[in-house]
Amino acid sequence: MERASYLDKLNDNQRAAVTFGTGEPPGPLLVIAGAGSGKTSTLAHRVAHLVVNGADPRRILLMTFSRRAASELTRRVERITAAALGTGIAAEALLWAGTFHGIGARILRDNAAAIGLDPDFSIHDREDSADLMNLCRHGLGLSQTASRFPAKSTCLAIYSRKINSEAPLGDVLRDHFPWCAQWETELKRLFGAYVEAKQAQNVLDYDDLLLAWAQVMADPGFAAHVGGAWDHVLIDEYQDTNRLQARILMALKPDGRGLTVVGDDAQSIYAFRAATVRNILDFPGSFAPPADVITLDRNYRSTQPILAAANAVIGAARERFTKDLWTERASAERPQLVTYATEADQARHVVDRVLEDRETGTTLKEQAVLFRTSSHSAQLEAELTRRNVPYVKFGGLKFLDSAHVKDLLAMLRLGRNPRDRVAGFRVLQLIPGVGPKAAGHVLDALDLAPDPRAALRDVAPPPRSGSDWPAFVAAMTTDAPWPAALDKARDWYDPHLARLHEDSEARRGDLDQLAQIAGGYASAEKFLTDLTLDPPDATSDQAGVPLKDEDYLILSTIHSAKGQEWRSVHVLNCVDGCLPSDLGTGTTDEVEEERRLLYVAMTRAKDRLSLGVPQRFYVTHQSRNGDRHIYSLRTRFIPAGILDRFEVTHWSPARVGEVPRPAPAPIDIAAQMRDMWA
C-alpha cells in the first residue's frame, strides 16, 4: 500500500507509535508521551491508521480520562480517516470511546441480567454516595460517638481508596487517614452496611462501576466474552489509572495483543484517587516478551525558556523515569515570577496582564489562569466581575451540586428506581409536612411492594402531606415520553422552588439549562448516566455560562487543566501552603505529586507563562478572634538554584494621584436612632 500522506506530518517516534505492530493483532505497546509532544494527535493517528488498514472501528475500545477527551479524539480520528479514505468513518462507528467508568456502566447495563443486576440501577455521584454513607452511619449509631466519628465524606473517601487501591483497610488508614485509624472496626462495620444498602436499593456508586466490572472479568467465561468484543484496546493517561483499572485492563487482554497504553509519569497527579505510576512503570514487564516502549520527548507546544523552567522544576524530583523535553521554539522571553504584597495585588495585576494581552491580539479564550484549589481564585473572580471581564471556571463546584438541580434529578431517579432511598428522602421531604420519618415510611412501603413503581400510586399518603400528594404521585408516575417527563417533574417542583429559595429566578434559569441538555438525550436513563459520569464541568459566576461564540477567560484548577494548552498562562499562589498545599505535605510521595502539579501547570503554556507569589494572605476563621494574615514563601519547587530560569520581578499598584483625605468628625448614629423614639 502506498504510504498514507498523514504519516508525513509526524516525527519519527510519533510515526513509529502510529504504525507499530506487525502481528495481527500487534503486541503490547507503551507510549511515553511528554507534555505537548503531540500525544493526542499520535493516539488519534494510531486509531485512524488501524482503521485505514482494515480494522473494524466498532471493535476498537478507546478509554480516556474524560468524555471531553474522548470526543476530541473521536473527532480527530474521523478527520484523518476522511482525508485518507475519501469517505470518513461514520461518527457512530467508534462505538466504544469513553471513560473507564462510562464503559463500565455500559457493560454492566448490557449484561445486567446475567450478573444478577437490575438493569434499571441508578448511579450515585459522590454526594449521593456520601448521603447514603450517612444514612448507614446513623443507622449504626455512629453519629453520636463520644469522640467525633469521621464525617460522611471522609468515610466515603476511605472506602473509595480501599476499593481503588485494593489495599487492606488498615494500610489505607495508616498511610492516608491516620487521624481515623482508631475507628477501623467501626468503619469496617459501616462499609459492610453501606454495601448492603447499595445492593438493596439497586444503586451503584462510581467505584462499583469499576469493581463490578473487575469482578465480571474474574470469571473466565465472561472475560473472554467481554474482552473478545474488541480487537484493539487503547488507553490514554495511563499514569492516572489505579490498581483496579489495571486489573480490568489485564483481564481484557491477558497476552497484551492489541493493547496500547499512553501516558507520562511526570504528569501523574491523581494519586489521591489511588492512581499509581507503578501501572505505567510495570506495564512493559507484565508481558512476555515485554511490551515495546516508544518515547515522545519533542515538545511542540512551549517556547524553549518555558520548557527550561519546567524541566528545572521536575528535574529536582526524587525519582524520574523519563526524559527532558526539548523544542525548537526559540524565544528570548523567560517565564515571569512576580511577587506581590497581597493576593489582591496579584488579582489586579493578572487582570491587567490579561487585558493587555487581549489588546495585542490574544483572545481571552487563548489565556488561562490556573490554581491548585478552587477557592484560590476567589479574589481574582471578584476582580474580573468588578472589571467586567467574562470568564468560565473549570473545577470546583459544579452547577449539578446546587440543591435545586439535585432535587429535580432526584425526582427523575426516583421515578426510574423507587428503591433509591437517597433520592427518595430528598424528594419526599420537599413536600411540606413530610420529614425524615414520613419519608422513611413511604420508602419502606415501596421497598416491600412487588412492583414499587405501581406501589407509589397506592401507598398511603403521609399524614400531613395534604393536597400536594396526588399531584406529586401524578408527576412521578407520568407516562409522558422523554423529555416531556422532565417537564412534568418541573411543573410540580416549580412552586416548591419558589417557596424554598429566595433567588428562585436564577435557579429557574439553571433548570432551563438542564431541560435543554435533557432534550439532547433519547431517554431519561442515558441522560442521568451521562450527567452523573460526566457532569458539565464549567461554572461561571452569577452571570450564567457565556454564549459559545463569546470570548471569555478560562479559570481552572490544575487538575481540570490536564491535557489542555493556552498561549498565555498565569499560575496563582505559587507559595508553600498553596502549592504544595499544606494539606498534602505529610509524606514525600504527596509532596512529589504537588511538584508534578506545578510541572503540569507550567507545561500548559505555549508562549507566555507567569507565576504569582503573593507574600501576605488573609486567613479567615482560623483563630476564634477573627481573621488574621499570614506570611508565605515562594514555593519550595522553585529553589534559589533555578531562579535564573525566570524573570523575577515585584509588582505593586501605582499610587498616583492618591491623596490621603482627612476624616470628618465622628458622629453618634446610635444616639440619633434612640432619639427617634424618645
Partner DNA sequence: ATGCACGCGGTTTTT
Partner DNA sequence: CCGCGTGCAT
Q: Specify binding-site residues.
A: 33-40
Please compute, for residue 401, the number of CA atoms within 13 A of its CA located in the half-sphere on the CB side.
10
- Please state the three-class secondary structure of 71-84 as a single string: HHHHHHHHHHHHHH
Beta-bridge partners for 515: none
* Contact pick of 559, 570, 608, 645 for DNA (by CB under 7 A): 559
C-alpha–C-alpha distance, residues 429 and 131, integer Å: 15
Q: Does 182 bind DNA (CB under 7 A)?
A: no
Q: How far apart are the first and last CA of the chain?
A: 101
Of 32, 34, 62, 68, nearest in space to 48 by CA: 62
Of 68-97, binders to DNA (CB under 7 A) are: none
Total residues found in the chain within this entry = 678
CB of 77 to DNA, least distance (A): 20
Of 121 and 287, CB closest to DNA? 121
575 secondary structure, DSSP code:
B
Phi, psi of 234 (to 5 degrees): -125, 130
Q: Does 462 bind DNA (CB under 7 A)?
A: yes
Q: Does 102 bind DNA (CB under 7 A)?
A: yes
Q: Does 425 bind DNA (CB under 7 A)?
A: no
Helix (H, G, I), strand (E, B) or coil at 630: strand
C-alpha–C-alpha distance, residues 351 and 380, integer Å: 8
Stretch that binds DNA, among 149-157, 196-204, 356-364, 404-412 (CB under 7 A): 149-157
The set of cell numbers assigned to 126 is 459522590
Of 428 and 475, CB closest to DNA? 428
Q: Does 495 bind DNA (CB under 7 A)?
A: no
Q: Does 42 bind DNA (CB under 7 A)?
A: no
CB of 626 to DNA, least distance (A): 10
CB of 663 to DNA, least distance (A): 27
Residues annotated within a binding site for ATP: 33-40
Q: Does 38 bind DNA (CB under 7 A)?
A: no
Of 588 and 652, CB closest to DNA? 588
Of 199-218, binders to DNA (CB under 7 A) are: 206
Q: Does 391 bind DNA (CB under 7 A)?
A: no
Q: Does 448 bind DNA (CB under 7 A)?
A: no
DSSP per-residue codes, 195-245? HHHHHHTTEEEHHHHHHHHHHHHTSHHHHHHHHTT-SEEEES-GGG-BHHH
Q: Does 157 bind DNA (CB under 7 A)?
A: yes
Q: Does 396 bind DNA (CB under 7 A)?
A: yes
Of 574-593, binders to DNA (CB under 7 A) are: 581, 583-584, 586, 590
Beta-bridge partners for 293: 30
CB of 166 to DNA, least distance (A): 15
Please compute, for residue 405, the number of CA atoms within 13 A of its CA located in the half-sphere on the CB side.
23
C-alpha–C-alpha distance, residues 387 and 365, integer Å: 17
Q: Does 66 bind DNA (CB under 7 A)?
A: yes
Q: Does 374 bind DNA (CB under 7 A)?
A: yes
Of 263 and 396, CB closest to DNA? 396
Q: Does 151 bind DNA (CB under 7 A)?
A: yes
Burial 630-650 (b: 16+ CB within 10 A, else e): eebebbbbbeeebeebbeeee
* Contact pick of 535, 544, 577, 653 for DNA (by CB under 7 A): 535
Burial of 3 (0-12, 13-18, 19+ CB in 10 A): exposed
CB-CB contact of 411 with 485 (8 Å)? no
Applying CB under 7 A, the residues found at the interface with DNA are: 65-66, 99-102, 125-126, 134, 137-138, 143-144, 148, 151-152, 154, 157, 160, 177-179, 206, 272-273, 372-375, 394-396, 429, 432-439, 462, 464, 533-535, 537, 557, 559-560, 581, 583-584, 586, 590, 620-621
